[in-house]
C-alpha cells in the first residue's frame, strides 16, 4: 500500500512549483505586452488593477496597443495623450470611459452582451488576456470569481494569459475555472476588491419598485440590475415565496432575498436550487456570501444571457432601466440623443428572454422627469440620434412613479394613451397634443 501511495504522489503534478515559476511583479507581467497587441480585460471587479496600472506606467514605450473591455474601472490610461499608445474599445462605457468615448479618443463597440464571446471568437484578436482570480486550489485551479462573462473565451483565444490572484476574491462554483497550465504569468494582489456602495432608495424609486413587486408572482425567476429601483424591488419582494434568480449581475439585494428565504430557487424550470449569474459587483458582504456557496453558480455570458436559455425559465421577470421612452414604446437606454452614455448590455437579451418565457414579464423603468422636473422622459419621439436599446416589438411593461403601462400586444394608439397616463401630470396635455399631431390618438 505504501508503494502505491508513493507512485500516486509521483503522478500528481506539483502545481505549487508551477505557480512559483510563473510568479511575476506587475511590471514584469506588463512587459509581456508589445506594440500592436490586442488586450482583453474582464468586466467590473474582474479587471486586473495592478496589471492595468503597470501597463499605464510604460504606455509611452508602446504604440498601437488596443484594449477591449466592458465597463472599465481603472482610469490609469484614460487620458487623451494615451491614444497613440493605448487605444480603448469599450463594449459598455462606465463612468471611467464615458468621457473618453464622448470626446472621441476612445471608441465603443455596439453589441448584445450574450454575443461578446462569439465576437471574440470570430472578429477580435486577443494577444493578452488578464483577469482577477481566486487563489489556486490543490488541483491547480483558480476561479474567475466575480467576473466570468466573456473572460473564459478571452483566455481560450489569448496568446498570453495573466492572472491577478487576490485572496479576497470569492471562490465560485459553475463554469468558471482556469487551470495553472493555461496561465503564463501570475501577479499577487492583496488589495481589497473594488466595492459598489448600496445607494439610498428615493421615494420615486420606492414607488416604481412597489408597482413592479405587485406584478411578480410567487415562484417567478428574476433578473435585476443595479441601483435604487432594483434595490426597492428587492426590498418589496422579501414577502414573496419560492423566487428564483437567473441574472447577469449578482447584487447585494439578491443576498437579502436569498438570506431571507424569499429566493430558494425551488420552482425554477432549469438549474433548480441554483442562483445563476455571470458577474457580480457590490459590497464585501456580497463577496463573502458568494465564497464557496453551492447555491450560486457563475457561467459565461453566452449561456446566462442567451435569450433562448433565459426563456426556458417559466415566469421569468426582467427589470431594467432606460433614459427615454417615446409614445410607440421605443426605449433609448444607452444614449442621450446622439451622446453615447453606456451600452446595450443585457437589457435586450433579458427582455427577449422574458418574451419567450412561459408567463414571463419584462419591465423597463424610469422616473417620469429629469433636470428637476423640467424635462419629460416620456416623449413623442426620441431625440435625434438616440440609440434604441429595447425596440417597439420587444417592449412589454414601462413603469414610472405614476404607474405601469402594459404595451406588448397593444396598438400604437393604446400604447400612446397608456404611456401618457404614467407621464408626469405637468406634461400629459402637451404629450396628448403631440400625439394628435402624429395621428396617434
Name the residues annotated as catalytic. 248
DSSP character string of 314-353? TTEEEEEE-SEEETT--EE-SEETTEE-S--TTHHHHHHH
Residue 344: which of 116, 95, 151 has the closest Cα?
A: 116
Q: What does the DSSP 8-state code read for residue 164? A: E
Q: Give the SS3 label for residue 370.
A: strand
- What is the helix (H) or strand (E) element at residue 403, kind and residue range? strand 403-406
CA distances from 164 to 37, 46, 175, 186 (A): 19, 9, 19, 6
C-alpha count within 13 angstroms, C-beta hemisphere, residue 164: 31
Q: What does the DSSP 8-state code read for residue 35? A: T
Instruction: Give φ, ψ of 129 to 5 degrees.
Output: -120, 135
d(CA 315, CA 281): 25
**Do residues 221 and 246 make contact, with C-beta atoms less than 8 angstroms apart?**
yes
**Do residues 173 and 296 make contact, with C-beta atoms less than 8 angstroms apart?**
yes
Compute and round to an integer the Cα radius of gyration of the chain: 23
**Do residues 91 and 108 make contact, with C-beta atoms less than 8 angstroms apart?**
yes
- What is the helix (H) or strand (E) element at residue 26, kind and residue range? helix 26-30
DSSP character string of 151-162? HHHHHHH-SEEE
**Do residues 431 and 327 make contact, with C-beta atoms less than 8 angstroms apart?**
yes
d(CA 309, CA 434): 40
Buried b (16+ CB within 10 A) or exposed e, 269-302: bebeebbbbbbbbbbeebbebbeebeebbbbbbb
d(CA 61, CA 425): 58
The widest CA-to-CA distance across the chain, in whole angstroms, is 90
Identify any residues that bridge with 277 across adjacent strands, giving them in sequence order: 298
Amino acid at each position: 500500500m505504501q508503494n502505491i501511495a508513493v507512485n500516486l504522489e509521483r503522478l500528481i503534478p506539483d502545481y505549487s512549483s508551477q505557480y512559483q515559476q510563473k510568479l511575476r511583479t506587475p511590471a514584469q507581467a506588463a512587459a509581456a505586452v508589445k506594440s500592436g497587441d490586442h488586450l482583453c480585460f474582464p468586466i467590473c471587479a474582474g479587471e486586473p488593477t495592478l496589471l492595468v496600472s503597470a501597463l499605464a506606467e510604460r504606455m509611452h514605450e508602446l504604440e498601437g496597443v488596443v484594449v477591449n473591455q466592458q465597463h472599465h474601472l481603472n482610469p490609469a490610461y484614460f487620458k487623451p495623450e494615451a491614444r497613440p499608445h493605448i487605444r480603448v474599445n469599450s463594449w459598455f462605457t462606465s463612468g471611467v470611459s464615458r468621457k473618453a468615448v464622448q470626446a472621441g479618443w476612445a471608441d465603443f463597440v455596439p453589441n448584445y452582451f450574450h454575443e461578446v464571446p462569439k465576437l471574440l471568437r470570430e472578429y477580435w484578436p486577443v494577444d493578452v488576456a488578464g483577469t482577477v482570480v481566486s487563489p489556486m486550489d490543490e488541483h491547480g485551479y483558480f476561479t474567475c470569481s466575480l467576473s466570468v462573462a466573456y473572460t473564459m473565451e478571452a483566455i481560450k483565444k489569448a496568446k498570453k494569459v495573466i492572472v491577478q490572484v487576490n485572496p479576497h476574491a470569492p471562490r465560485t462554483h459553475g463554469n468558471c475555472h482556469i487551470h495553472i497550465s493555461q496561465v503564463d504569468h501570475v501577479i499577487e494582489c492583496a488589495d481589497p476588491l473594488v466595492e459598489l456602495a448600496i445607494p439610498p432608495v428615493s421615494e420615486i424609486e420606492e414607488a416604481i419598485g412597489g408597482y413592479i413587486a405587485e406584478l411578480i408572482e410567487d415562484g417567478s425567476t428574476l433578473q435585476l440590475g443595479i441601483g435604487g429601483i432594483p434595490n426597492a424591488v428587492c426590498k418589496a419582494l422579501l414577502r414573496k415565496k419560492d423566487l428564483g434568480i437567473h441574472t447577469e449581475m449578482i447584487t447585494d439585494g439578491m443576498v437579502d432575498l436569498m438570506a431571507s428565504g424569499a429566493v430558494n430557487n425551488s420552482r425554477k424550470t432549469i438549474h433548480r436550487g441554483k442562483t445563476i449569474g455571470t458577474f457580480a459587483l457590490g459590497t464585501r458582504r456580497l463577496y463573502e456570501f458568494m465564497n464557496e456557496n453551492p447555491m450560486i453558480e457563475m457561467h459565461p455570458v453566452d449561456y446566462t444571457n442567451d435569450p433562448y436559455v433565459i426563456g426556458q425559465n417559466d415566469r421569468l421577470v426582467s427589470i431594467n432601466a432606460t433614459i427615454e421612452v417615446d409614445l410607440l414604446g421605443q426605449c433609448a437606454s444607452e444614449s442621450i440623443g446622439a451622446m453615447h452614455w453606456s451600452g446595450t448590455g443585457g437589457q435586450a437579451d433579458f427582455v427577449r428572454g422574458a418574451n419567450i418565457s412561459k408567463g414571463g414579464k419584462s419591465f423597463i423603468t424610469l422616473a417620469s422627469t429629469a433636470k428637476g422636473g423640467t424635462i419629460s422622459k416620456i416623449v413623442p419621439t426620441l431625440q435625434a440620434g438616440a440609440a434604441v436599446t429595447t425596440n417597439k416589438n420587444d417592449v412589454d411593461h414601462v413603469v414610472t412613479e405614476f404607474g405601469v403601462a402594459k404595451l406588448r400586444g397593444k396598438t400604437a394608439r393604446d400604447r400612446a394613451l397608456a404611456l401618457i397616463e404614467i407621464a408626469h401630470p405637468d406634461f400629459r396635455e402637451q404629450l396628448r397634443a403631440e400625439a394628435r399631431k402624429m395621428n396617434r390618438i
